[in-house]
Amino acid sequence: NAGVTQTPKFQVLKTGQSMTLQCAQDMNHNSMYWYRQDPGMGLRLIYYSASEGTTDKGEVPNGYNVSRLNKREFSLRLESAAPSQTSVYFCASMGPNGQPQHFGDGTRLSIL
């Protein structure tokens, strides 16, 4: 019962460095999502993928890119990290027809 697996759990970067956050789900869900959560704020959608081969911008896409590698995997890339991207990042997946979203454990990312 792995559900949604995110790696890494923690990461510290220097400004300007790049990195990719990995996400994989084993529930055969079509839709996958990347969110960020900042203190005092709720979940904000960065990008989502409604199905394999498609990706769309969410509320806060600037500074990020995504890849839907296959049905299982959806990665989030920071090309040139900035301190404003310090946050907790959650990946989620969702099945069709009114099913709930399932979340990974989150990645705590600090940009110095």
Name the site residues for other proteins (rule: CB under 8 A): 31, 33, 41-43, 45, 48, 50, 56, 58, 90, 94, 98-106
Our CB check for other proteins shows the closer of 10 and 14 to be 10
CB of residue 38 to other proteins, shortest distance in Å: 12
Q: Would you call 83 helix, strand, or coil by DSSP? A: helix
CB of residue 27 to other proteins, shortest distance in Å: 13
CB of residue 41 to other proteins, shortest distance in Å: 8
Strand stretches in the chain, DSSP E: 4-7, 10-13, 19-25, 31-37, 43-49, 56-57, 64-68, 74-78, 87-94, 101-103, 107-111
Our CB check for other proteins shows the closer of 19 and 88 to be 88
Structure token pair of residue 55: 């990706």
Our CB check for other proteins shows the closer of 37 and 75 to be 37
